[in-house]
Amino acid sequence: MIKKIFIIFIIFTLSSKVYAQDLLKTLLNAFENNSKLNAERAKINASKQDVNISRSDFLPSVTLSGDRATQKDTNRKNLSGTSLQDTHASPESKSVVVEQKIFSGFGNYNNLKKSKLQLEFSKIELNKLEQEILFKAAEAYYNLGYSIKNFEFNESNVGLFERQVESDRSRLERGEISLTDFAQSESSLAGAQADLITASNELVSGKKNFEKIIGSIPPNKINLAFFPDLKIPNNLKVAIAKSEQINPKLNLAKIDLEIAKRELFVARSDLSPSASISYSLKKNEELSTTIDEREQEEVKATITWPLFKGGKNLSSLKKAEFKVQEKQLILKDTTSQVQIEVANAWTSFNSSKGFLDATESQLKAAEIANEGITLEYETGNKRTTLEVIQSRTLLLDARTSFANAQKNFAIAQFNLLASIGDLYLNNIK
């Protein structure tokens, strides 16, 4: 007995690993084949360059320049009208200028901080999209699993009614049932066939949706009874507290507010004085009959203070202040929204778990009842055709309800983690 239990445990463990690998493979395919994710990754690389651009404002600038011209003076005359000798010249000019900003009202500093925040914003956007793709992939996976099961149930149901119609035709010929009973069997078969067509269409749609989201060929078998080991919080309070720390939607709103604050600091710096220091070396040469050469060095300190630009700077400052207020309100609203989403996801998770247990009990009862009623009908123990039809209908409903409950429970787990912001591949086992 112990050996048998051990073998069953091993088989269950191995099958669970297989289904876990199938699920992880599905989710990984969605990661690899999704163009939106690749676009976000490219966006991050662009944001990294923005950081480098902002950092360059702290470094000195070096400018090299040079020019050369050819000059020819002909038909020259003095005041008395005497002709002068023609002249030829090739003036050259070379210069190097080194300039270093030493103060800009902290504008450069805040621009750098803003660029770093924008980079972080892009990373969180990618994280948010990754979790959305993961949830959609898991949802497509389990929805397809339900569609497969629903098709199988209806296909089996058609087979049962086909056999019943054949059996009832023989019983009608023997006078054991009435023509009304036989008509009920035929009607039930027609209804089952119509339901099978509907289930077939839903299966086709499920496969198409799977291909669209995952980007790979859908599997023929999915075990709805397999529920991955997800890191579900112990209670709603823990779930909300965790979401306040890691939820990407909330973190995007927080960073957006910080970016707005940096833009406000930059706007203030535009009203502040700025200072820079520069060094220039110029060399001029004139290659002619008379060679003239000159070198000029200059060290210059410059201070600028924009006192008035038609009110442009002041308006920019006011705009930045209002932008900060806007982002503060958005953050407050997003915080409430995330809390509601987590609470709803938690409620859905718990209700789906309770519904799963209820439908499982319903299925067991329906199977026992159908087996008994069918046996009694086939042995002629006062069971009517209508009772058999009703029993099989209840069994089909119980099977589909249980499969739907399995699907909803699995999806509810993924939805809860997604609402928290904790849906990662390494959290799925």
Name every residue whose Cβ is closer than 8 Å to that of residue 138 and which is 6 or more positions away in sequence: 23, 26, 27, 410, 411, 414
Query: What single DSSP character describes residue 426?
Result: G
Cα 377 from Cα 177, distance rounded (Å):
11
pTM confidence score: 0.76
The whole-number pLDDT of residue 355 equals 95
Cα 389 from Cα 396, distance rounded (Å):
11
DSSP 205-216: HHHHHHHHHH-S
Cα 106 from Cα 272, distance rounded (Å):
9
Backbone angles phi, psi at 93, to 5 degrees: -140, 130
DSSP 186-233: HHHHHHHHHHHHHHHHHHHHHHHHHHHHH-SPPPS---TT----B---
Residue 149 predicted with pLDDT over 60: yes
Count how many residues are written for the chain.
429
Range among 3-12, 250-259, 303-312 rated most confident: 250-259
Query: What single DSSP character describes residue 295?
Result: E
Residue 207 predicted with pLDDT over 70: yes
Cα 114 from Cα 188, distance rounded (Å):
69
Residue 7: Cβ within 10 Å count? 10
The whole-number pLDDT of residue 411 equals 95
CATH of domain 18-59+106-271+312-427: 1.20.1600.10
Q: Which residue matches tokens 């023609």?
A: 86
Mean pLDDT of 166-192: 90
pLDDT digits (tens, 9 = 90+) for 244-257: 999 999 999 999 99
Q: What angle do CA 258, 259, 261 make, to 5 degrees?
A: 65
Q: Which residue matches tokens 């000798």?
A: 85
Residue 205 predicted with pLDDT over 70: yes
Cα 384 from Cα 362, distance rounded (Å):
23
Contact 87, 73 (CB under 8 A): yes
The helix/strand count (H/E) of the chain reads as 8, 5
Q: If you average pLDDT over every residue of the chain, what do you get?
A: 82
Q: Comparing C-alpha atoms, which of 169, 136, 109 is closest to residue 33?
A: 136
Give ranges for CATH 1.20.1600.10 in the chain. 18-59+106-271+312-427
Instruction: Identify the residue with better confidence: 5 or 251.
Output: 251
Cα 261 from Cα 366, distance rounded (Å):
63
Residue 1 predicted with pLDDT over 50: no
The whole-number pLDDT of residue 27 equals 82
Name every residue whose Cβ is closer than 8 Å to that of residue 73 and which is 6 or more positions away in sequence: 86, 87, 88, 89
Query: Predicted confidence band at 43 (pLDDT cuts at 50, 70, 90)?
Result: confident
CATH of domain 60-72+86-103+272-305: 2.20.200
Q: Tell me what percent of the residues of the chain surpass a pLDDT of 90.
A: 43
Q: Long-range contacts of range 132-135, CB-CB < 8 Å, 24 or more positions apart?
A: 132/418, 133/30, 133/31, 133/34, 133/36, 133/37, 133/213, 134/27, 134/30, 134/31, 134/414, 134/418, 134/423, 134/424, 134/425, 135/414, 135/415, 135/418, 135/423
Instruction: Identify the residue with better confidence: 380 or 117.
Output: 117
Give ranges for CATH 2.20.200 in the chain. 60-72+86-103+272-305
Mean pLDDT of 61-66: 70
Query: What single DSSP character describes residue 271?
Result: T
Strand segments, DSSP code E, in 317-412 are none
Mean pLDDT of 311-326: 84
Mean pLDDT of 373-402: 88
pLDDT digits (tens, 9 = 90+) for 66-112: 666 666 666 656 666 666 565 666 667 777 776 767 656 566 777 77
